[in-house]
C-alpha cells in the first residue's frame, strides 16, 4: 500500500492487485488508486494525477476510482459520469448531448430530445444508477423523459413526412442489342435479346456439319423441346433444329444456382448460340455447351399470290405417321396468309376438330367471313365387291323402306337374327315404323359382336 497526494482536497491510497505486492515494479503490472474527496474530481485533475504518478510506478496499470459523497453530486459531475460510460463502450453517443438534468434528492430526471425509447430499451436508467452508486455508495432513481413538447414532436413528424428521399439510381444489365444478320436467316429489325452470356457477331455453321473432334462453334436453331433432370444439381436440355440437323444444348447448374429460365424457353424460339461442341458419353451423341445465347426473330412466311388458294386436303398431327402441324396453329397460319378458308382432313379421325374450332372462333371475332371446313379422309370397303343387291333407281322423295337387323354374331353362315327394325320413308318423312325381337333358337353370347 502507498499513500499519495493528488492536490488540495484530495488524497488517496494505491493498492496493487496482488495481496502481497509492494508499491514498486516487483509488485506486478496492475493496481487501483482510490481517491476520496468532498466533490467529484474533474477529468483534467485525474489525468494530471496519473501523469505525475506514472514515472514512480513504471510497469503498473494505474486507474483512479473517484469516490465522493452523493450530496456533492451536481450536473457537471453527472455529465462526467456519462462521458465515462461512453469511454467504457455504452452506446449513448449523441442521445445525451443536449439533455436536461434535474437532481432532486435521490431522484434524477434526464430529459432527452430524441432516442428515449432506445435508451430505455438498453436499460440506460439502471446503468447510470449503478454507476452513481459505484462512486457515491448511493443508488438513486434515474428517470428518462422526452424534453420535446407535443407540438414540436408533431412538427418533426410532419417534416419527416414532407422530406423527399433522393432518387435511387439503379444500374441494370442491358439485355438487348441492335439487330444482327445471320447467314441463311431472314430476320426482322427487332433488337436482339441477350438471353445468356454476352453479345457476339455470329458466323454460324449448319448443324449437319457438327461432329468430328468438336470444339468451339456458332450455330442457330428453332427450339422444339426442353427438359430438366436431377434434384440438387439439375441438368437442363434444350433441343434445337436448323432443318439440316438437330442437336441438344446442355446446361449443368452449379449447386444453388437457379437456371430455371432454360426450362421455360418457348417452343419455336429462334436462338443463335456460341459454345463448345463435344461428344456426350451419356447421350451417345454430340451436344453443345452454350456460353452465349441470343434470341432473334425471323420474318414470318407470307403468301404473296394475288388470288389466295383454299387448302382442301390437309393433315395435322392427329393423322398418325403422316403430319406434324398443330390443328389450331395451321388454321391461324392460313388466316394470317390471307386464305379465306381451310379444310381439316385427317386420316379416319376427327380429334383435330376441337382445336381447329377454337382457333376459328378466335378469328371470327375480327374476321367473321373466314371459314373452317370440317373434313376427314375416310376409309371404305372395296367398292368392286357388290354389297347391295336388287338395286333400283328411285327418287329420294319417293317411297322406300330402311331396315336394320341385329344378330348373334358377324358370320351370316352360322349366326341368327335377334332383332329387326324398319321404317317406311315417303317424301323424306317417316310414315310407318316396325320393331320386333326374334328368338334365335340358341342362347346369345354375353357380349354380342353385332
Give me the sign of the Cα torsion angle 303, 307, 308, 310: negative
What pLDDT was estimated at residue 74? Answer: 83
What pLDDT was estimated at residue 310? Answer: 94
C-alpha cell at 306: 394475288
Q: Which residues contact 87 (CB under 8 A, 6 or more apart)?
A: none
Q: Categorise residue 161: left if φ over 0, alpha if ψ from -120 to 50, beta otherwise.
A: alpha
Q: How confident is the model at residue 163 (pLDDT cuts 50, 70, 90)?
A: low
Q: Pick from 206, 217, 200: which is nearest to 289 by CA? A: 217
**Cα gap 438→408, rounded to integer Å:** 11
Name the residue with higher pLDDT: 39 or 388.
Answer: 388
What pLDDT was estimated at residue 26? Answer: 39
**Cα gap 74→71, rounded to integer Å:** 8
Q: How confident is the model at residue 450 (pLDDT cuts 50, 70, 90)?
A: very low
Percentage of the chain surpassing pLDDT 70?
A: 80
Mean pLDDT to the nearest integer, 383-402: 81
- Kindly state the DSSP code that residue 33 receives in the 8-state scheme: E
pLDDT digits (tens, 9 = 90+) for 274-317: 999 999 998 899 999 999 999 999 888 889 999 999 999 999 99
What pLDDT was estimated at residue 173? Answer: 57
pLDDT digits (tens, 9 = 90+) for 61-118: 767 777 777 888 888 888 888 888 888 888 877 777 778 888 888 888 888 877 777 8
**Cα gap 365→359, rounded to integer Å:** 11
Residue 332 has pLDDT above 90, yes or no: yes
Q: Which residues contact 344 (CB under 8 A, 6 or more apart)?
A: 314, 316, 327, 331, 352, 353, 356, 372, 373, 374, 375
pLDDT digits (tens, 9 = 90+) for 54-63: 777 776 776 7
What pLDDT was estimated at residue 27? Answer: 41
Give me the sign of the Cα torsion angle 153, 156, 162, 165: negative
The mean pLDDT of the chain is: 81
Give me the sign of the Cα torsion angle 144, 145, 146, 147: negative
Mean pLDDT to the nearest integer, 413-417: 87
pLDDT digits (tens, 9 = 90+) for 194-228: 999 999 988 888 999 898 888 999 999 999 999 99
3-state secondary structure (DSSP) of residue 173: coil
Mean pLDDT to the nearest integer, 388-404: 85
Task: Describe the crossing of helices 353-364 and 327-336 by its angle, rounded to 10 degrees.
Answer: 30
What pLDDT was estimated at residue 40? Answer: 62
- Kindly state the DSSP code that residue 140 receives in the 8-state scheme: P
What pLDDT was estimated at residue 25? Answer: 39
Q: Pick from 45, 25, 29, 26: which is nearest to 37 by CA? A: 45
Within a 13 Å sphere around the CA of 308, how many CA atoms are in the beta-carbon half?
15
3-state secondary structure (DSSP) of residue 127: helix
Q: Which residues contact 261 (CB under 8 A, 6 or more apart)?
A: 195, 196
Q: Are 363 and 336 in contact (CB under 8 A)?
A: no
* Burial class of residue 414, CB neighbours in 10 A (0-12, 13-18, 19+): exposed
What pLDDT was estimated at residue 372? Answer: 96
Residue 16 has pLDDT above 60, yes or no: no
pLDDT digits (tens, 9 = 90+) for 103-161: 888 888 888 877 777 888 888 888 888 888 888 888 888 888 877 666 666 666 666 56
Which strand (E) or helix (H) includes residue 236?
strand 235-241
Amino acid at each position: 500500500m502507498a499513500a499519495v497526494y493528488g492536490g488540495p482536497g484530495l488524497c488517496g491510497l494505491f493498492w496493487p492487485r496482488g495481496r502481497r505486492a509492494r508499491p514498486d515494479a516487483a509488485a506486478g503490472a496492475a493496481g487501483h488508486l482510490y481517491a476520496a474527496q468532498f466533490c467529484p474530481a474533474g477529468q483534467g485533475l485525474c489525468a494530471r494525477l496519473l501523469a505525475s504518478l506514472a514515472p514512480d510506478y513504471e510497469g503498473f496499470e494505474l486507474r483512479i476510482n473517484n469516490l465522493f459523497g452523493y450530496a456533492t453530486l451536481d450536473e457537471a459531475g453527472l455529465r462526467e459520469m456519462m462521458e465515462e460510460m461512453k469511454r467504457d463502450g455504452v452506446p449513448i453517443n449523441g442521445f445525451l448531448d443536449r439533455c436536461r438534468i434535474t437532481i432532486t434528492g435521490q431522484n434524477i430526471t434526464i430529459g432527452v430530445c430524441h432516442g428515449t425509447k432506445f435508451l430505455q430499451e438498453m436499460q440506460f436508467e439502471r446503468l447510470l444508477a449503478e454507476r452513481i452508486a459505484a462512486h457515491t455508495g448511493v443508488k438513486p432513481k434515474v428517470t428518462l423523459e422526452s424534453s420535446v413538447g407535443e407540438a414540436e414532436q408533431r412538427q418533426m413528424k410532419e417534416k419527416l413526412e414532407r422530406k423527399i428521399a433522393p432518387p435511387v439510381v439503379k444500374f441494370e444489365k442491358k439485355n438487348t442489342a441492335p439487330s444482327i444478320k445471320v447467314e441463311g436467316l431472314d430476320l426482322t429489325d427487332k433488337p436482339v435479346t441477350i438471353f445468356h452470356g454476352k453479345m457476339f457477331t455470329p458466323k454460324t455453321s449448319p448443324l449437319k456439319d457438327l461432329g468430328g473432334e468438336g470444339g468451339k462453334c456458332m450455330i442457330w436453331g428453332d427450339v422444339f423441346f426442353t427438359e430438366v433432370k436431377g434434384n440438387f444439381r439439375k441438368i437442363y436440355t434444350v433441343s434445337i433444329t436448323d432443318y439440316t440437323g438437330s442437336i441438344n444444348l446442355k446446361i449443368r447448374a452449379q449447386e444453388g444456382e437457379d437456371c430455371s429460365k432454360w426450362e421455360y424457353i418457348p417452343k419455336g424460339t429462334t436462338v443463335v448460340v456460341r459454345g463448345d461442341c463435344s461428344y456426350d458419353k451419356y447421350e451417345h451423341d454430340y451436344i453443345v455447351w452454350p456460353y452465349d445465347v441470343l434470341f432473334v426473330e425471323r420474318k414470318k412466311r407470307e403468301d404473296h399470290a394475288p388470288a389466295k388458294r383454299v387448302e382442301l386436303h390437309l393433315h395435322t398431327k392427329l393423322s398418325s405417321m403422316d403430319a406434324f402441324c398443330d390443328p389450331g396453329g395451321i388454321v391461324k397460319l392460313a388466316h394470317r396468309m390471307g386464305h379465306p378458308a381451310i379444310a381439316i382432313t385427317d386420316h379416319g379421325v376427327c380429334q383435330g376438330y376441337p382445336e381447329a374450332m377454337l382457333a376459328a372462333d378466335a378469328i371470327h371475332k375480327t374476321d367473321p367471313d373466314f371459314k373452317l371446313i370440317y373434313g376427314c379422309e375416310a376409309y371404305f370397303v372395296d367398292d368392286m365387291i357388290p354389297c347391295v343387291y336388287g338395286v333400283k333407281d328411285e327418287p329420294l322423295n319417293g317411297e322406300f323402306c330402311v331396315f336394320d337387323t341385329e344378330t348373334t354374331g358377324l358370320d351370316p353362315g352360322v349366326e341368327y337374327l335377334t332383332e329387326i327394325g324398319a321404317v317406311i320413308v315417303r317424301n323424306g318423312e317417316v310414315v310407318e315404323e316396325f320393331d320386333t325381337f326374334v328368338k334365335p333358337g340358341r342362347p346369345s353370347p354375353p357380349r354380342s359382336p353385332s
